[in-house]
Chain A
């Protein structure tokens, strides 16, 4: 066995875990590890401009690829800067390994320079965490970290490494475990066969079924199985914000996103359903609205890998604990031998849904006033983005109205193309996440749909894009306001815009982008939108920042009315269900 220093072991173990890229930022406690990175070529390090962005970039990489993202930061401020990124990944079940430097073991607890109890601070927002106590433990711990992050319900794992553990003068034998097994952690993938049969029986007997699929389907790479099953059944299917792309968005059976800003037809169908087939979704409060009024007539079948998600907010009648892929696979195997659903009832159900679509659906007609002249509607920008990119881009987003418009109007046909912070709702996520996706797919089109508020939370990463050659496209829906906040203030606070406007303090985004060495464009006229956007995406090797001035007064609709059932919605500023 080879003897290596702890610093070299960290990097060797990353290599042996299959890691190609590490996003990070150096500092005192991590310098031995950084030196080890410098002395090898297998693991590449990408320097960011803020540790939060390192985590979001690794997260975007993980979402786009399904692989584990890797982050390296120093102790104290480096570690705490990473926290928002870790919490973001935790809420959306994204596999990450975050390695943080720590002050030397002998100084822990002394309030040493740049000491933060990282294991303690991160505890509620990690799947698990480790503090390294002996250099001999580094390789096995890193192996465990990747195993835990990527199996079961994925999530971020922190490995905190005191500086003395990576001391170049102390060498210990290196070996990377071939296999990880832990007596306390044995994730179970297979669903209970009896429950699966019960579920199928109920599903096939349904007269008004809805398939409600979430991010779990995407995480588990189960989109194909889900699509096959849905098509065989000819049942309507809705996706959560996290599940967009799990089923092709442009398909007839897709009834749109559900929930707070879901489509009229999706929320109506859920409310009137007799059977809800929930797959890898967690009945989030942004989906259910008031749980006591949620889907009053529905029998609920719920597949989830995480038992805590089952009956947490809404009780499941037929729970199945297992991975989406294995359970859907088992169902498909049994399906053909079972009697087909009641075709007539299903036809009636589809007729009802088509009627809802025709009445208030956002895909059967534009439900917003037309763009023209200097009036650019944000919805039209997203529709144009879809057109110009052929519906085939990786689209990341920040948080706000622009995010909801992107979710509603960019109809995602493939999984892993829509990358947003659904659970935590982290402004500042979009640009670094786009960098991660672009790194994973250098030739792909990657667009970050953002707002002038969100983009400024991590705009420094334009410099990272320069350094590492990441030609992402930034589509800034500039409404000169924290639009989503403003919308709530319009609706609930009589248009008192407390701190949601900037009073002429916004930067010149074109000049700012150019200062970073990129291309900036400003669009103020609707008839320039298409040509400018085509120009933007033709610049394959450049970062382009499109600053598009959109209608400031626009709201996102539909919008569920809080405290009510799913199907109680505002449909416009004046019209409600």
Chain B
């Protein structure tokens, strides 16, 4: 079972290491992790995705709650939510034919080319994980030189929000 967990955390030294440490210490997986300060600089917002059975996920959430620095913990996958991941891909782009083919794919996936050299493109793409995987698959012929993914950020749909 894949879960997306959203955490509001005190922006204190060591707070992030306690979250990460909890996962290694108790044998839980972190698939992706994404963290940044919020508009209130004393708080950090963290999104992590994990996999585990129901019992494990329940424990993960409870253990996260138990950390002194956590203010809120929400399992976004419990309800409707939006998830997005940002990906930057550097690909070899040589010759008119290959370059136009790539541009096509980028357009279909509603990405952007954000850097160009005579022999390469750097492509930016946002979406859920599946869309990013599909893009990589679509340009497999060309082959990627480098891929950077941000990990998932998520937010609940509708009126629900995570605040202190």
Residues on A lying within 8 angstroms of B by beta carbon are 119-120, 123-124, 127-129, 131, 133, 148, 182-185, 306-308, 311-312
Contacts and interface: CB of A to CB of B under 8 A. Distances in A.
Nearest to A148: B68
Interface string B67-101: 01111000000000000000000000000000000
Given A129-B14, A131-B13, A308-B63, A124 B68 contact: no
Residues of B contacting A: mostly: helix
* Chain B: interface size category: 10 to 19
A123 B63 contact: no
Contacts of B131: none
B6 to A, nearest CB: 15
Contact of B18 (A123, A183, A306, A311): A123
Interface of B: 10, 13-14, 17-18, 21, 25, 55, 58-59, 62-63, 65-66, 68-71, 164
Given A123-B21, A184-B71, A185-B68, 6 more contacts: A119-B14, A184-B10, A184-B70, A306-B66, A308-B63, A308-B66
Given A124-B21, A131-B13, A307 B71 contact: no
Contacts of A184: 10, 68-71
Given A123-B17, A308-B59, A183 B164 contact: yes
Nearest to B66: A308
B17 A307 contact: no
15 contacts: A123-B14, A123-B21, A127-B68, A129-B14, A148-B68, A182-B68, A183-B71, A183-B164, A184-B70, A184-B71, A185-B68, A306-B66, A307-B66, A308-B63, A308-B66
A183 B58 CA distance: 23
A133 B12 CA distance: 11
Contacts of A119: 14
B21 A308 contact: no
Contact of B55 (A129, A185, A311): A311
Contacts of A120: 17
A570 B71 CA distance: 48
A183 B70 CA distance: 9
A303 to B, nearest CB: 16
Contacts of A307: 62, 65-66
A121 to B, nearest CB: 11
Contacts of B14: 119, 123, 129, 131
Contact of B62 (A129, A183, A308): A308
A123 B66 CA distance: 14
